[in-house]
Amino acid sequence: MDKLRLLLRIVKKYPTLLALNIVFNILSACLSIFSLLMMIPFLQVLFYQGEQINKLSELPKFPFLDDIYLEWVSILTIHGKQNALLMLCLVLIFAFLLKNGTRYLAAFFLVSVRTGLMRDLRMQIYQKLLSLDFTFFQNKRRGDILTRFGSDVQEVEYGIINFIETGIKEPVTIAFTLGSLVIMSPYLTIWVLVLLPVSALIIGKIGKQLKRDSFKAQYQLSLLQILVDEVMHGIRVIQSFKNVDVFSEKFQHINQEYKVLHSEMLRRKELASPLSEVLGIIVIVAILLIGGNAIFQGDSSLTPEVFITYIVVFSQIISPSKAFSNAWYFIQKGVASLQRIQELLEEKSFYDNINGTLSKSSFDQDITIQNLSYSFGDKTVLKDIHLKISKGQKIAFVGPSGSGKTTLLRLLSRTYSLPDNHIFIDGECINKIKLEDYRALFAIVTQDPILFYGTIEENLKVAKSNASPEEMIDALHHADALNFVLDLPESLATNIGERGHALSGGQQQRIALARAYLKDAPVLLLDEVSSSLDGVSDLSIRNALSKITHGKTVISIAHRLASIYDYDQIVFFEDGKITGKGTHLELMETHLPYRQMVNSQQIFSES
């Protein structure tokens, strides 16, 4: 039950619809049993003669049928058996109409619960993903996350909702059926209550194994989705290295493992229904033997017509029991999927890990880094960093790959969390500031421009949702992107495809720069924005940067040193430490590693 708490929290949003579903399911179950109990007077109308009519008063007493029995006695006495039979048939038709009408209404009201529940669950997962920090996505495979969002949610729909549907109606049907059996024959019902739990235990063992197999199968399915995602993302590399066979064999191996697990699940699922039916028939045969012998020996109060009705009513337990066994299969799969979803929803978000309470809407003085060290596990990435960045200053981080530049940039943007009292903005520890306020002070452009499926306008509005067309045009102008955007078939309304693949690399980067400019944040973080571009595109990006960085505080990671030679301060990193600070000219004179890097790129002369 603990694993269903998440579901129950969501279901609570629909109390009226659930109440209506329960009411109509109860009515449907009552009417179903009522129509079966009509067999008793039906058989008596057919086979009793005039002097036996009074035996109707000796029937088992069903409170909701007493008046109907008495009415039939009256009709039989006054109008004859044909009229009584006609009345019985009309009542049966009316009962079945009501039964199926209430059954439909129960399903009708459950549809809104079912679809709403899936909508809410997907929304919770999506909102959780938006709140998780960057390290979570570094440590998790995308295919595994997509499996939880897709097929796991689908399994919850098939399993949990199916259980809600059958778990209300079928227990009510079984309860009313057992109640009717008790009234007709307490003696036989005792045997029923002894034999049925044995069947339930056998079916329950199958369900436990199904849950274990389902969890394993969902994990294997996530691996398959991971491989498909990798192929879509890296097909050029895979084909260029002629590694198609390697990837194909890997997929084939995992796909075969999933096939074996899935086959075992389906076999157990298919076993559940016939097994429950066979067990039900065995119980029926046992009741036939016990009840028949009791009638033959003359020590039973059962009359033949009541005994026949007893068997027919009892046989109706097989159908809800089968529905329950099928639902149990789906519930085991659903619970396994729900457990995986719940693991994701219980992940601590960045806001849970660290979020301040101070409000801040401007950057006024400086950013100060004091005695900062940072590690990933046992690996120390930054060591004893001291740095001051004044408002309006342009500062560049340079150095070999893996020297800690990107890590520091992510700490500054609070993409990674760190202990208090190492980074300050305007004298306040950044951890004490509300995360949303702090991040509003920064605009980020990365080496790989992050664009989204949709139009250019939609991508720009990521930075400012209420941006006017004039503001977007101005941002594109400053990013040196307006001309090519206006040449596109639908201008701002042009769909740029998944990850912006309809645009060239340089065009993607300029859209990203325009988006950063549109945010109008006081601090601009640039992470090697032109390192992967050709010379022409690099020049275009540098022209755009000169426009959008005007009046901003700029912190840039630079690989191409030509883009930062005029910065106010260049900070050189080696092995997680700052080994040099100064302007380009100062470092050329005093810092050998920087001078060697410059000379290796052949873009400056030492003079």
Q: What digits encode the pLDDT tens for the residues 372-398?
A: 999 887 888 899 999 999 998 999 999
Task: Tell me, yes or no, whether 405 and 344 share the same domain.
Answer: no
CATH number at residue 556: 3.40.50.300
- For 573, list phi and psi in degrees, rounded to 5: -110, 140
Closest CA to 529 of 563, 567, 574: 563
Domain hosting residue 25, numbered range: 2-351
Task: Tell me, yes or no, whether 181 and 324 share the same domain.
Answer: yes
Task: Tell me, yes or no, whether 99 and 199 share the same domain.
Answer: yes
In 3-state terms the chain splits into helix, strand, coil percentages (rounded to 5) of 65, 10, 20
Task: Check pLDDT > 80 for residue 248.
Answer: no
Task: Tell me, yes or no, whether 212 and 341 share the same domain.
Answer: yes
Task: Tell me, yes or no, whether 235 and 109 share the same domain.
Answer: yes
In this prediction the pTM is 0.64
Residue 14 lies in a domain: yes
Residue 199 lies in a domain: yes
Residue with tokens 């028949």, as numbered in its chain? 292
Residue 330 lies in a domain: yes
Query: How many domains does one find in the chain?
Result: 2
CA separation, residue 588 to residues 433, 560, 563, 585, 591 (Å): 39, 16, 16, 5, 6
What band does 2 get if pLDDT is binned at 50, 70 and 90?
Answer: low
Task: Tell me, yes or no, whether 397 and 347 share the same domain.
Answer: no
Task: Tell me, yes or no, whether 16 and 95 share the same domain.
Answer: yes
Handedness of CA 581, 585, 588, 594 (dihedral sign): positive
Task: Tell me, yes or no, whether 49 and 197 share the same domain.
Answer: yes
Task: Please give the order of strands across the beta sheet that includes 442-445.
Answer: 442-445, 523-527, 553-557, 394-398, 569-574, 577-582
Residue 384 lies in a domain: no
Average pLDDT over residues 9-35: 80
Task: Tell me, yes or no, whether 290 and 405 share the same domain.
Answer: no
Q: Where are the beta strands (DSSP E) in 305-454?
A: 366-376, 379-390, 394-398, 423-425, 428-429, 442-445
Task: Check pLDDT > 60 for residue 282.
Answer: yes
Residue 381 lies in a domain: no
**349 within 8 A of 131, measured Cβ to Cβ:** yes
Closest CA to 3 of 343, 333, 338: 338
Rounded mean pLDDT of the chain? 77
- For 297, list phi and psi in degrees, rounded to 5: -80, -10
Residue 507: exposure state from Cβ atoms within 10 A (0-12, 13-18, ≥19): buried
Closest CA to 391 of 418, 362, 370: 362
- For 2, list phi and psi in degrees, rounded to 5: -60, -35
Q: How many CB atoms lie under 10 A from the CB of residue 42?
A: 19
**141 within 8 A of 188, measured Cβ to Cβ:** no
State the DSSP string of 139-205. Answer: HS-HHHHHHIIIIIHHHHIIIIIHHHHHHHHHHHHHHHHHHHHHHH-HHHHHHHHHHHHHHHHHHHH
Task: Tell me, yes or no, whether 406 and 322 share the same domain.
Answer: no
**350 within 8 A of 417, measured Cβ to Cβ:** yes
Q: What digits encode the pLDDT tens for the residues 331-376?
A: 777 777 777 777 787 777 766 656 678 888 889 999 999 999 998 8
Residue 597 lies in a domain: yes
Q: What is the pLDDT of residue 272?
A: 65
Residue 96 lies in a domain: yes
Q: What is the pLDDT of residue 425?
A: 93
